[in-house]
A and B are shown apart, each in its own frame.
Chain A
Amino acid sequence: MARLAFLLVLLAGTAVAGPPDAARQDQLRHMVRQDCGSCHGLRLTGGLGRPITAGALAGRDVEDLSGVILDGMPGTAMPGWRPLLTEDEARWIADYLLKTETE
């Protein structure tokens, strides 16, 4: 039952346009740590991918970064996340990366 509820939240989160709600934000934060973290490091300090801490991204803007998140960087290992994220969600992640101080 809990799993079903989670699934429904997940479906709702991806289908609805507009800024992500609190529950979806939690999922997106989790995604940044775990899935972006596969290449960029759990603490976003870099790995196969470059560091994406707020410091490392200084000077980039939300539109530019959300474009990279959605469509990837051809010629590199960075995939486009458009199949899994709405544009609003990508912008939320970009903003989150730019503003979050990592340890």
Chain B
Amino acid sequence: MFKATLAALLLIASPALADELRGTGDLGLIVEREAGSLLVVDRSERAAIGRIEGLGDLSHASLVYSPDERFAYVFGRDGGLTKVDILTRQVVRRVVQAGNSIGGAISDDGRLVAVANYEPGGVKVFDAETLELVADVPMGSKTVGIADAPGSRFVVATWDTGEVWILDHSTDAAQPAVTKLEGIGANPYDALLTGDGRHYIVGLFGEKGLTQVDLWQDPPKVTRFLPDYGKDQPDLPVYKMPHLQGWTLADGVFALPAVGLHQLLWVDADGLAEIARTDLAGQPVFALARPDKREVWVNFAPPDNDKLQVVDVLSHEVIDTLAPGKGVLHMEFAPRGREVWLSVRDENRVEIRDTRTREVLGEIEARAPSGIFFTDRAHRTGL
């Protein structure tokens, strides 16, 4: 009798549960920038499983994930900050917090979301649960390269004034302790934080070279490096700014996309000296290490944005040139590097390739796709 009742209960309960219960560790979001929507994808199925609409102007959009990998915070060009639920595929909350923004970050405890703004500049920090404003930090400049550092800190560079600001929210979220570093260099255009949260590296558009800030030192130590790169040859036009997130430390070496040169620069992480250069097919935009760090994959600015090149980390040589199609905007590796997803904007599709055989494993229709973001980003520092 008891058994029969239990079985009946299970029958009633289980169909819904079987459909609805699921993990999010193999999910991801793909930005459809013109449509203002996000495609929800399942890596295991290599398929789209839904779409979230109504996110405004998503040109240059990026996003970060909550620690439970259920919610994403989407930073739109139009200053919109949108919290979406990837399981129910709904917009949970949305605020238009500025006129024009460039990116954001989530604190290491998952409680604060910071947005870097072009207009009116500075950084605004929000409660991750409610999206209520927690702190507003004007900086008198457009801000770029915002990253989350350990200890409820955010690090950001200022385009107009050449500074790096460190906001420490650990004592009082609403009144962050500010450390301002001046003289970083002319027009920082992007920055990256290494995965250990130690080195914040700033790319400069207004002058040659790069700047490293060592956040382990107190006060943080500022070091310029590669002061001469590119000076001996005429600069080529840059039709799309390189992105620095994803410049990865591979084998003790940084692989950096040059600005105005069709080259990848290899820099020893300890001494910050250049050790090699690799000639490439165009102006590199992203230079991303495969998660095992054995190869660096590079995509390009127009007119070479139909290609990808794969560079060997040990030999620094291009070992493969792929032609996925028109407008290869972004690459995202599966967390353990087995496959790579490529957005091919002008062909309205995402292509999935095996990272070793380079074979095409699948394809997903998407509307002018740009950024691809897998949920494992939730657990990585500096994204």
Q: Which residues of A contact B (CB under 8 A)?
A: 30-31, 33-35, 37-39, 41-43, 45-48, 72, 77, 79-81, 83-84
B119-166 interface with A by 8 A CB criterion: 119, 142, 159
Residues on B with C-beta less than 8 A from A37 are 59
- In the complex where A34-B345, A48-B118 touch, is A43 in contact with B59 (Cβ < 8 A)? yes
Q: How far is the CA of A54 from the CA of B34 in the complex (A)?
A: 20
Inter-chain contact B59/A41, CB cutoff 8 Å: yes
Contact of B332 with A by CB under 8 A: no
* 3 closest cross-chain pairs (CB), A and B: A42-B59, A79-B237, A38-B240
B237 near A48 with CB under 8 A, answer no
CA distance A21 to B327 in the complex (A): 22
B240 touches A35 (CB 8 A): yes
Q: Which of A39, A41, A43, A84 contacts B241 (CB 8 A)?
A: A39
Chief secondary structure at chain B's binding surface = loop
Given contacts A30-B346, A42-B58, A47-B100, could you give 12 more A-B pairs where the C-beta distance is less than 8 Å?
A33-B34, A38-B241, A41-B60, A41-B100, A46-B118, A46-B119, A47-B102, A48-B102, A48-B241, A77-B205, A79-B239, A84-B239
The reply to whether B159 and A41 form a contact with Cβ atoms under 8 Å apart is: no
Given contacts A47-B59, A47-B60, A48-B189, contact A41 B239 (CB under 8 A): no
Query: Once bound together, how far apart are the Cα atoms of A46 and B79, in whole Å?
Result: 12
> Counting CB contacts under 8 A, is B302 at the interface?
yes
- Inside 8 A of A43's CB, which chain B residues have their CB? 57, 59, 77-78
B327 lies within 8 A of A34 (CB): yes
A41 & B119 in contact (Cβ 8 Å cutoff): no
Q: Which of A43, A72, A80 has the most CB of B within 10 A?
A: A43
Q: For the complex, is B303 an interface residue (Cβ under 8 Å from A)? A: yes
B47 within 8 A of A: no
Q: How far is the CB of A82 from chain B (nearest CB, A)?
A: 8
Count A/B pairs, Cβ under 8 Å.
66
Interface residues on B, range: 20 to 34
Majority SS of interface residues in chain A? loop
Q: Which residues of B contact A72 (CB under 8 A)?
A: 237
B238 at the A interface (CB under 8 A):
yes
Across the interface, name the chain B residue whose C-beta is closest to A82: B237
Chain B 223-267 interface mask (CB, 8 Å, partner A; 1/0): 000000000000001111100000000000000000000000000
Neighbouring A residues of B241 by C-beta, 8 Å? 38-39, 48, 77
Chain A residue numbers with a CB within 8 Å of B237 are: 72, 79-81, 83
The distance from the CB of B9 to the nearest CB of chain A, in whole angstroms, is 52
How long is the Cα–Cα vector from A39 to B237 in the complex, in angstroms? 14
**In the complex, what distance in Å separates the CA atom of A39 from the CA atom of B241?**
8
| Chain A residues whose C-beta falls within 8 Å of the C-beta of B59 in the assembled complex | 37-38, 41-43, 47
B157-182 with Cβ < 8 A to chain A: 159
A46 nearest in chain B by CB position: B100
Interface residues of B in 71-124 (CB under 8 A from A): 77-78, 100, 102, 118-119
CA distance A46 to B57 in the complex (A): 12
A to B CB contacts below 8 Å, 25 in the list: A30-B346, A34-B346, A35-B239, A35-B240, A37-B59, A38-B240, A38-B241, A39-B241, A41-B57, A41-B77, A42-B33, A42-B58, A42-B59, A42-B77, A43-B77, A45-B57, A45-B100, A46-B100, A46-B118, A47-B60, A48-B142, A48-B189, A79-B238, A80-B237, A84-B303
Residue among A33, A47, A81 with max Cβ neighbours from chain B (10 Å): A47
Q: Which residues of chain B are near A35, meaning CB under 8 Å?
A: 239-240, 302
Instruction: Name B187's closest neighbour in chain A (CB-CB).
Output: A77
- Contact check, A47 vs B239: say whether CB atoms are below 8 A apart: no
Chain A residues near B189: list those with CB within 8 A.
48, 77
**Chain A residue with minimal CB distance to B56?**
A43
CA gap between A81 and B142 in the complex, in Å: 25
